Structure 1
Amino acid sequence: MDSRRNNFDALRLLFAAMVIFSHSFALAGQAEPVIWNRTLGNLGVHGFFIISGFLIAQSYQRSGSLFKYGTNRFLRIVPGLVVALIVSSLIAARLHNFVHNPVPYISNGPVWTLAWEVICYAAIAVLGIVGALSRTTFPAVFAVAWVLYLANIGNGSDFFLAIVPLFLMFAAGALFALYLTEIRIELLVLALIGLALTAHFGVFTYVDQLVVGHIPFLYGPVVTPEEVLRVIYIASFPVVVIWVGKLARPSVRITNDVSYGAYIYGWPVAQVLVFFALKWSIPLNPYLVFVTTMIITLPLAFVSWRLIEKPALSLKRRFQKVSTTKEPEAEPELSEPLAVDGLTVA
């Protein structure tokens, strides 16, 4: 594999657009589009965590020290986030905290997920320190995580349904980072079939209820067809994302990484558009909100990348001693995860 040829930039931009599209419905007071029994925004979040797990596991292995790893992560997330939070807070205060919007008071809802991203970063560091982030030991960690997940499959809490899958997606990305040389076509086909089963299209819905609903889970928790399909989805989606991102050809190269900026500015821009639409008695059309949000957000994301995020990343050498030996060129460290739908508007 050529380490510089991948589709991760394009995928991240696609996932960012999916989240903005999904939130355009929520912020306009309508139900978000659903596929694979989850909103498009939730799907985009999972994609971001998969890619993040893949890149961050490699980043830790390249870093050489915990200080360098932590510095890299800080410079990638914090500067752009601080500016975005200041801007969105000032705008919200100016516009009465969007009190009359369908989703009031929340000026930048998606950013709370960054806390869980940081926890994933910390987990990678801990695993690396104890020697568990290797080809021989990490599969056991991954297996234990899945056993714990399956043992609690009937848990209906928000944490289990929304946060735990993020950890599993991130862990799957890290596993591929350690083991990926190729994804056999048989595995890809099985993953695609799994996603088709979880999409609830046509006859698959009937098959799910007929077959899965009659599996006798003896002496165990009552497992519904929806829970079985959720497991299939969580196991299948990372395979497809990594295959498209790393192995599919041709690869699409995007020079400027605007996906993180789209993440931190998409929600505030949409909130402002909804505010003025209501003020001027313009009907709220989520499709129009999405298109207008993208037209405004992408230039903002470009400015954020060129003036804040990229210059911040250039500060790495000020915090670290430059090695006397030339290190292999690393893949660009790109976006961070997006929001989990539902909880962002709760």
Structure 2
Amino acid sequence: MWTLSFEFLCYLLIGFLGTFAFFKKTPWPMMAAFLLSVAVWANLERLNPYMQGNQDFQLLARLVPFFLGGAVVKVLSKRIGLGWQGALVAAIVAAACIFGLDGFGNQMAAPFLAYLLLWISTWLPCPKIVMKNDVSYGAYIYAFRVQQLLAVLGGYHWGVWWFTLAAVFATMPLAITSWLAVEQPIMRMARRRI
């Protein structure tokens, strides 16, 4: 839940970048924007005095590379496709970044992780009920609040596996309700207008 405002800012950033024609013609500007976002995160300690230690700036600097990493994969998707060879390379490069680049390796690994996750999503079998009912956004929105509530109620004493299981079972009814009552009807209305 706490990431939603940052997600909104990232969508605004993508919308802003998309207004420039050269961002639409070639993937290089998006790749440059991603690398710039990684450089900002890697040099955050140097930038902090200019931002007066602003926590929102620090969180945004941490998250923007992940968002732009996904955007890089999107702009390259027609050129690189999704295959097991690419997924293998992505996994190796992501691991090298994460374990080899101290302080900014996670951010640098973002496009490789995005590619790997997209490939996994096409490779794993998906039941029809899941294909027709996407509760992932509801889970994304409510999971943090459910986890916080469980922790306040003492769930952290249960151990990580029982806590995780309880959080999943408590989050899913909220996510399903969100899908059925809000997201699916809005998506239907949007499709009718298009």
TM-score normalised by length of structure 2: 0.70
- Structure 1 equivalent of residue 42 of structure 2: 153
- Structure 2 equivalent of residue 314 of structure 1: 188
| Aligned counterparts of 1:125 and 1:148: Cα–Cα separation in 2 | 16
One of 162, 175, 194 as aligned partner of 1:301 = 175
Q: What are the within-5 Å matches in structure 2 for residues 152-171 of structure 1?
A: 153-156=42-45, 162-171=59-68
What SS is found at the alignment partner of 1:134? helix
Flag the structure with more relative contact order, 1 or 2, with Cα contacts below 8 A and sequence separation at least 6.
1
The answer to whether the Cα contact below 8 Å between 1:266 and 1:293 also exists between their aligned partners in 2 is: yes
| Aligned counterparts of 2:149 and 2:170: Cα–Cα separation in 1 | 11
Quote how far apart the aligned CAs of 1:174 are. Answer: 2.4
Q: What are the within-5 Å matches in structure 2 for residues 154-303 of structure 1?
A: 154-156=43-45, 162-181=59-78, 182-183=81-82, 187-198=86-97, 200=99, 225-227=101-103, 229-230=105-106, 232-245=108-121, 248-253=122-127, 254=130, 255-277=132-154, 283-303=157-177
Quote how far apart the aligned CAs of 1:196 are. Answer: 3.1
What SS is found at the alignment partner of 2:126? coil
Cα RMSD of the aligned pairs, angstroms, is 3.4
Q: Structure 2 vs 1, CA of residues 276 and 124 (structure 1 numbering), >3 Å: closer, same or farther?
A: closer
Q: Structure 2 vs 1, CA of residues 194 and 293 (structure 1 numbering), >3 Å: closer, same or farther?
A: same
| Aligned counterparts of 1:131 and 1:152: Cα–Cα separation in 2 | 27
The answer to whether the Cα contact below 8 Å between 1:265 and 1:301 also exists between their aligned partners in 2 is: yes
- Structure 2 equivalent of residue 122 of structure 1: 12
Quote how far apart the aligned CAs of 1:153 are. Answer: 2.6
| Aligned counterparts of 1:118 and 1:160: Cα–Cα separation in 2 | 14
Quote how far apart the aligned CAs of 1:125 are. Answer: 2.3
What SS is found at the alignment partner of 2:2? helix
1:139 aligned onto 2:43: no
Percent identity, aligned pairs only, is: 24
Structure of larger gyration radius: 1
State the one-letter code of the partner of 2:75.
L
What SS is found at the alignment partner of 1:121? helix
Quote how far apart the aligned CAs of 1:306 are. Answer: 0.8
Quote how far apart the aligned CAs of 1:300 are. Answer: 2.1
The answer to whether the Cα contact below 8 Å between 1:127 and 1:133 also exists between their aligned partners in 2 is: yes
| Aligned counterparts of 1:179 and 1:192: Cα–Cα separation in 2 | 17
- Gap runs ≥5 in structure 1: 1-110, 201-207, 209-224, 324-346
Q: Which has the higher helix share?
A: 2
| Aligned counterparts of 1:317 and 1:241: Cα–Cα separation in 2 | 27
The answer to whether the Cα contact below 8 Å between 2:37 and 2:65 also exists between their aligned partners in 1 is: no
Quote how far apart the aligned CAs of 1:298 are. Answer: 0.8
Quote how far apart the aligned CAs of 1:146 are. Answer: 0.9
Q: Structure 2 vs 1, CA of residues 162 and 233 (structure 1 numbering), >3 Å: closer, same or farther?
A: farther
CA displacement, residues 110-143 of structure 1 (integer Å, 9 cap, x when unaligned):
x23111211222223223333244242x422421
| Aligned counterparts of 1:199 and 1:112: Cα–Cα separation in 2 | 24
| Aligned counterparts of 2:87 and 2:191: Cα–Cα separation in 1 | 40
State the one-letter code of the partner of 1:154.
N
State the one-letter code of the partner of 1:240.
L
Q: Structure 2 vs 1, CA of residues 231 and 284 (structure 1 numbering), >3 Å: closer, same or farther?
A: closer
What SS is found at the alignment partner of 2:3? helix
Quote how far apart the aligned CAs of 1:235 are. Answer: 4.7
